[in-house]
Structures are given as structure tokens and as C-alpha cells.
């Protein structure tokens, strides 16, 4: 009765790709409503800063403020989209739409599903970062071709925040709990990770906290990319990002799996 | 000699202190339809999910699970690749239309686009959904959605089709259509594992059933045989309890079994004539004379109705 030949289920990379493809396909279904705002948002920001705030602030850390903030937006856009995708988005798929019930009936493991989700959120980070880059380039705030690496930083930022958000999601019982995550963790990162002002201007006790935040390291990398100012210190930021993705990602997979397979 | 597709031996599953499945054993032969029958909360879905590795069995239950020679604990992907699953909830992508839903799902099996398109056309035709191929999901009726999920489960030509309450909440017409399709698949050699709380469904399509209650087996076997062996052939249902003593006289004792533990009183007998004699003394509309069914068997053994929420 045993079946000697192993069924040829798809290899790992194809399984991950199929999960990624599913999300991509659903996302691009509403290309206009999903694809347009990423370009609009940095425009609004730059208009607000350039026409308003920027006229009061001469320079920040030696660069025009619009340039300073613009570089930060390259990664905050990735942070926001990945954080939303893997908190509210994942929770809705998990609890309301029951999308995963359907997917887990196909030859996919829970791990495949979660990792595919993280890669997809990274892709969204890349895209959102790219959208900001387009706007910054049009207004001559950053220079091509050096800045073309920025969306790659956006990708890894997206992956970091996907892992973090999935870990949070694994604890969440009702969708309203995400309010704490967004207001309590993501929003503060926007302000205290060196996006709107340098972390060196933080009071001394707060600086180590800023260093512990994932966005701080993305910001440092993306600034180096925009200014083409690479130095050895960046290796530490890369190391932080790599370790963060691995550690938080593993916990997220482990915990979220229990929500899927029980 | 047919192969055994599913072999489940002494399997248990607990959720904290609750034993959802208690020491269940059964096996399913290739090309047959096996039904898990029981009220809501009996553990049918949990048992089914353990078969396709959606739910792990208790680590310490010491039982054996063998599906196509694979253990769901370690060979999840092998089993999922060979099986098609219709979950209890439809879980379709509302943003996508009928074809797109199926195309995305085909990718999970790594079916190349050309083959997928051909297979999808076949399946939509088989499940009589071809006209709806470009419809949005929300435009489909409940029965159409259900058929679409069945089509989705059939994409990879599964050797084993697993259906969790495929016809719950559907109208009789769709139900019969789905039963026809399942019989058709079975004739083509597909093995079917189905959960249901409709005894008629079990009777119509299952070769063997296991009747479950509170996670444990009540009885197991061929539906018709279970009926023959466990209950009198005919039932007379009376709608008023107080009339029992009036209608059943002493001469009937021994021929008629009275069950008045529920709102309706039921009189069971092997000989329909005995019940007819009683019915003759009643006014039309006060009684229902019918054949006994699996629901009666369930009621007799557990004292509870099948369609009751636990």
C-alpha cells in the first residue's frame, strides 16, 4: 500500500513564488488605487515641507531640509507599507477572509506561507521606496544613478517591518489592538529614528533607544546611498538589519504558525 | 484488491482539556467514499484536518496515520499534492474573478499556464460554471461558490478529495448536483473523504461511514447495514406526547418500541402493519409514518439529535 515514488510537489522557491504571486496579483487588481498613492504621498510631504516648514529651517545636518527629509522618506514609505500589510492585511486574511485556509489546502506549509508574505511585504517596500525615489528625482532632490540602490534599502526595510508586524500579529486577538502597535511603535519610529532630525540631537538617555530601533539603521543606510558617502560604520547597520530579520523573522514564523496549524 | 488510501489508527486530538477526537480508527479504500457523520462539534472537521496536515494529532496519542503511505506529521507536502481539499468555508479571493481565482491556485501546484487554462475550462464545464468564468466572486450564489471551491480542489487531479460539509446551507437542487458530481468522480477512481451532518448525504454517497459524537466513534460501517442492524425499519412520529397511552394498547407491547424522550414521540416497529394499525386510529396530520434513517440511529444511541449545536 505504500507509494514508493514521491509525488513531485513544487520545490521551495516555486512555493514561495506562488505565495508572492498570489499577493501581487490581488494587489495589482486595483492598480490605480493601489499604485497611485505611493507617488502622491511623497509629493504632499515635499510640498508641505518645501513650501512650509522648509522655509523656517535652513539646513539640517548640513543639507537642505527638503533633502534631509526626502532621503528619510525613502525608507519610511517602505516601513509604513510593510507594517500595514503584515498587521491589518495579514490579520484580515487570517481571521476575516480566511485566505490562508484555502492556501494551506494546497501544497504549501505554514512556513512557506509566512515567508512568502514577508518577501511580498519587502517587495512592496521596494516599490514604495521606488515611488518616493521617482518623485525625489523629478524634483532633483537626489541624484541618479547612485540613488538607484535606495529601493533595495527599501526592500530590506520592508522585510524587517514585515517580520516585526507578523510577530505582533501573532499576539493580536482583535484587529483594534493594532492601534497600539501603529501609534505606540511605528509612529514614534518615524520621529525618533533620524528621519526628521538627527538622532544625535536626542537627549543622551534616548540615543541608545533610537539605536535599538530598526528604522534608525535603514535611515543611516539610505542617507549614505543618497550622499554616496559609504563608510565602514554602515556594516554595523547591515549586520543589525540581517540579525533583526533572522531573529524576529524566526519568532514570527514560529508564533504565527501556531495561529495557522493547531 | 483495492489499495488503502487512508489508514487512521487510534488517533486522538485535544485542545487543552477538551478531547476533540478520541481514539479514532478507520480506513478508506481506494475509489470509495467515506463519510464522517455527526453533529456540529463532534470532531469531524478536526479529524479531517489531521488527514491533510492542517492540524497536528496529539504527540502522545501513539496512533498511526498513513495517507498514500505518507505520515501527515512529516510528509505534509506529499499528501497535500495528492489531495484536493474543500474547506468548510469557501475562502475565495473576493478581489479576483472566477478564472483568476483558479489560475492563482493552479500556481500553488506549479501547473504551467497553458495546462492550467485547459484544466480550468474542463472543470468549469464539469461543475456547470462555464458561463460564470468572468464573474466576480460576490456575484456568485452560495451554490456556485461551493462548486467553484470544488473545482479549485480538483485542479491537480487529486487522487483523494476531502470535503468538509460540502452542501451545508445549500438548496436541495444544488445539493443533488454536487452529489452527482461526487459520484461521477468516484466512478473515475477518486477516493472521497467527506464530513456531513446530513444523514441523507451520508446515505446517498458514502460507501462507509463513521458516526461520531463528542470526538468518539459511535459506530462504523455501510450506511444501509448500520440501519438494518441498529434500528427497526419503520417509524411513526406523533406530534402530541399525551396521546401515546391512548393509541398504543397492550397488544402492541413487544412489537412497538416507544421513544418519547423528545418533543415528538416516536414509535418504532419492524413491521409497518403494526404502525399502520396505530396510525388508522389517528387523524391525518397528527402523525408521520416513514422509514427509519441514520438520524434515528444517532438519536437512539446518543439520545441527541444530529442537527444540534453542541
Contact A10 B87 (CB under 8 A): no
Contact B93 A26 (CB under 8 A): yes
CB contacts, 8 Å: A13 with chain B: none
pLDDT in tens, B87-97: 999 989 988 99
Average pLDDT, whole number, for chain B? 90
**Closest alpha carbon within chain A to B102:** A22
Band (B262; pLDDT cuts 50, 70, 90): low
Alpha carbon of A138: minimum distance to chain B alpha carbons (Å): 34
pLDDT over threshold 70, residue A6 = no
Average pLDDT, whole number, for chain A? 93
pLDDT over threshold 90, residue B264 = no
Cell numbers found for residue B286? 397528527
pLDDT in tens, B147-164: 999 999 999 999 999 999
Alpha carbon of A123: minimum distance to chain B alpha carbons (Å): 18
Quick one: which of A219, A224, A255 has its CA closest to A240? Answer: A219
Quick one: which of B115, B100, B95, B191 has its CA closest to B152? Answer: B100
pLDDT at B242: 56
Contact B55 A262 (CB under 8 A): yes
pLDDT in tens, A197-213: 999 999 999 999 999 99
Contact B69 A104 (CB under 8 A): no
pLDDT at B256: 85
Question: Residue A105: which of B3, B66, B85 has the nearest Cβ?
Answer: B85
pLDDT in tens, B54-89: 999 999 988 999 999 999 999 999 999 999 999 999
| Sign of the Cα pseudo-torsion (B237, B242, B243, B249, in order) | positive
| pLDDT, greater one: B210 or B39 | B210
pLDDT in tens, A133-179: 999 999 999 988 889 999 999 999 999 999 999 999 999 999 999 99
Cell numbers found for residue B74? 512529516
CB contacts, 8 Å: B52 with chain A: 105
DSSP letter at B158 equals: -
pLDDT in tens, B214-239: 999 999 999 999 999 999 999 988 87
Would you say A158 and A125 are in contact if contact means Cβ atoms under 8 Å apart? yes
Band (A50; pLDDT cuts 50, 70, 90): confident
CB contacts, 8 Å: B108 with chain A: 10, 15, 18, 22, 103, 106-108
CB contacts, 8 Å: A8 with chain B: 81
**What residue segments make up the domains of chain A, in order of their start?**
37-260
Going from the N-terminus, what domains does chain B have, and what CATH number goes with each?
A: 4-227 (3.40.50.300), 232-291 (3.30.70)
Beta strands B191-196 and B160-164: pairing type? parallel
Cell numbers found for residue B249? 394498547
Task: Say how far residue A72 (Cα) sits from the centre of its chain.
Answer: 13
Contact B87 A21 (CB under 8 A): no
ipTM: 0.89
In three-state secondary structure terms, B28 is strand
Question: Residue A102: which of B4, B78, B91 has the nearest Cβ?
Answer: B91
| pLDDT, greater one: A50 or A59 | A59
pLDDT at A7: 63
Angstrom distance (rounded) from CA B65 to CA B20:
17
pLDDT in tens, A182-192: 999 999 999 99
Contact B91 A99 (CB under 8 A): yes
Cell numbers found for residue B302? 446518543
- Among the residue ranges A58-62, B145-149, B246-250, B271-275, the one predicted with the least confidence is B246-250
Q: In sequence order, which residues have a C-beta less than 8 Å from that of residue A68 and are 6 or more positions away?
A: A59, A60, A61
Distances (CA, A) of A5 to A8, A9, A127, B110: 9, 12, 42, 18
Q: What is the 3 state secondary structure string of A213-258?
A: CHHHHHHHHHHHHHHCCCCCCHHHHHHHHHHHHHHHHHHHHHHHHH
pLDDT over threshold 90, residue A62 = no
pLDDT over threshold 90, residue B273 = no
Would you say B151 and B102 are in contact if contact means Cβ atoms under 8 Å apart? yes
- Among the residue ranges A61-65, B192-196, B259-263, the one predicted with the least confidence is B259-263
pLDDT at B95: 87
Average of per-residue pLDDT across A62-73 = 91
CB contacts, 8 Å: B149 with chain A: 102
pLDDT at B306: 63
Size of the A and B interface in Cβ pairs below 8 Å: 93
pLDDT at B238: 83
Question: Residue A3: which of B68, B105, B110 has the nearest Cβ?
Answer: B68
pLDDT at A200: 93
pLDDT at A46: 85
Amino acid at each position: 500500500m505504500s507509494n514508493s515514488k514521491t509525488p513531485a510537489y513544487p520545490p521551495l522557491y516555486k512555493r514561495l513564488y506562488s505565495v508572492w504571486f498570489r499577493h501581487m496579483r490581488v494587489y495589482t487588481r486595483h492598480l490605480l488605487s493601489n499604485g497611485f498613492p505611493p507617488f502622491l504621498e511623497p509629493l504632499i510631504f515635499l510640498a508641505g515641507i518645501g513650501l512650509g516648514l522648509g522655509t523656517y529651517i535652513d539646513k539640517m545636518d548640513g543639507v537642505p531640509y527638503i533633502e534631509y527629509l526626502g532621503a528619510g522618506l525613502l525608507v519610511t514609505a517602505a516601513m509604513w507599507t510593510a507594517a500595514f500589510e503584515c498587521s491589518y492585511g495579514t490579520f484580515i486574511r487570517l481571521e476575516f477572509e480566511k485566505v490562508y485556509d484555502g492556501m494551506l489546502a494546497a501544497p504549501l506549509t505554514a512556513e512557506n506561507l509566512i515567508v512568502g508574505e514577508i518577501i511580498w511585504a519587502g517587495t512592496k517596500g521596494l516599490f514604495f521606496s521606488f515611488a518616493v525615489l521617482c518623485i525625489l528625482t523629478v524634483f532633483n532632490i537626489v541624484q541618479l544613478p547612485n540613488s538607484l540602490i535606495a529601493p533595495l534599502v527599501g526592500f530590506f526595510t520592508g522585510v524587517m517591518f514585515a517580520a516585526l508586524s507578523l510577530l505582533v500579529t501573532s499576539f493580536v486577538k482583535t484587529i483594534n489592538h493594532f492601534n497600539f502597535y501603529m501609534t505606540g511603535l511605528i509612529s514614534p519610529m518615524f520621529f525618533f529614528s533620524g528621519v526628521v532630525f538627527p538622532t544625535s540631537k536626542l537627549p543622551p538617555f534616548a540615543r541608545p533607544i533610537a539605536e535599538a530601533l530598526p528604522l534608525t539603521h535603514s535611515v543611516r543606510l539610505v542617507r549614505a546611498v543618497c550622499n554616496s558617502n559609504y563608510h565602514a560604520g554602515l556594516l554595523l547597520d547591515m549586520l543589525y538589519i540581517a540579525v533583526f530579520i533572522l531573529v524576529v523573522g524566526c519568532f514570527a514564523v514560529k508564533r504565527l504558525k501556531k495561529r495557522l496549524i493547531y | 484488491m483495492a489499495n488503502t488510501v487512508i489508514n487512521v489508527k487510534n488517533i486522538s486530538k485535544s485542545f487543552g482539556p477538551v478531547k476533540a477526537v478520541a481514539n479514532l480508527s478507520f480506513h478508506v479504500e481506494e475509489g470509495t467514499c467515506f463519510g464522517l457523520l455527526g453533529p456540529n462539534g463532534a470532531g469531524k472537521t478536526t479529524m479531517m484536518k489531521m488527514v491533510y496536515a492542517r492540524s497536528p494529532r496529539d504527540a502522545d496519542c501513539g496512533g498511526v496515520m498513513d495517507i498514500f503511505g505518507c505520515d501527515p506529521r512529516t510528509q505534509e507536502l506529499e499528501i497535500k499534492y495528492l489531495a484536493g481539499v474543500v474547506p468548510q468555508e469557501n475562502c475565495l479571493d473576493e478581489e479576483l474573478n472566477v478564472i483568476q481565482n483558479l489560475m492563482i491556485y493552479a500556481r500553488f501546484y506549479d501547473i504551467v499556464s497553458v495546462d492550467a487554462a485547459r484544466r480550468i475550462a474542463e472543470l468549469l464545464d464539469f461543475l456547470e460554471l462555464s458561463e460564470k468564468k468572468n464573474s466576480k466572486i460576490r456575484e456568485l450564489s452560495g451554490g456556485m461558490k461551493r462548486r467553484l471551491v470544488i473545482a479549485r480542489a480538483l485542479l491537480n487531479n487529486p487522487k483523494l478529495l476531502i470535503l468538509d460539509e460540502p452542501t451545508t446551507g445549500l438548496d436541495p437542487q444544488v445539493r443533488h448536483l454536487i452529489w452527482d458530481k461526487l459520484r461521477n468522480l468516484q466512478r473515475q477512481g477518486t477516493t472521497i473523504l467527506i464530513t456531513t451532518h446530513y444523514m441523507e448525504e451520508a446515505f446517498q454517497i458514502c460507501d462507509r461511514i463513521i458516526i461520531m459524537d463528542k470526538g468518539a466513534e459511535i459506530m462504523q460501517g455501510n450506511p444501509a447495514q448500520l440501519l438494518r442492524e441498529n434500528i427497526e425499519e419503520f417509524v411513526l412520529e406523533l406530534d402530541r406526547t399525551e396521546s401515546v397511552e391512548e393509541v398504543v394498547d397492550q397488544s402492541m407491547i413487544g412489537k412497538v418500541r416507544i421513544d418519547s424522550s423528545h418533543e415528538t414521540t416516536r414509535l418504532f416497529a419492524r413491521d409497518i402493519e403494526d404502525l399502520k394499525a396505530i396510525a388508522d386510529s389517528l387523524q391525518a396530520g397528527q402523525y408521520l409514518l416513514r422509514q427509519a434513517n441514520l438520524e434515528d440511529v444517532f438519536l437512539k444511541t446518543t439520545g441527541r439529535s444530529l442537527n444540534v449545536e453542541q
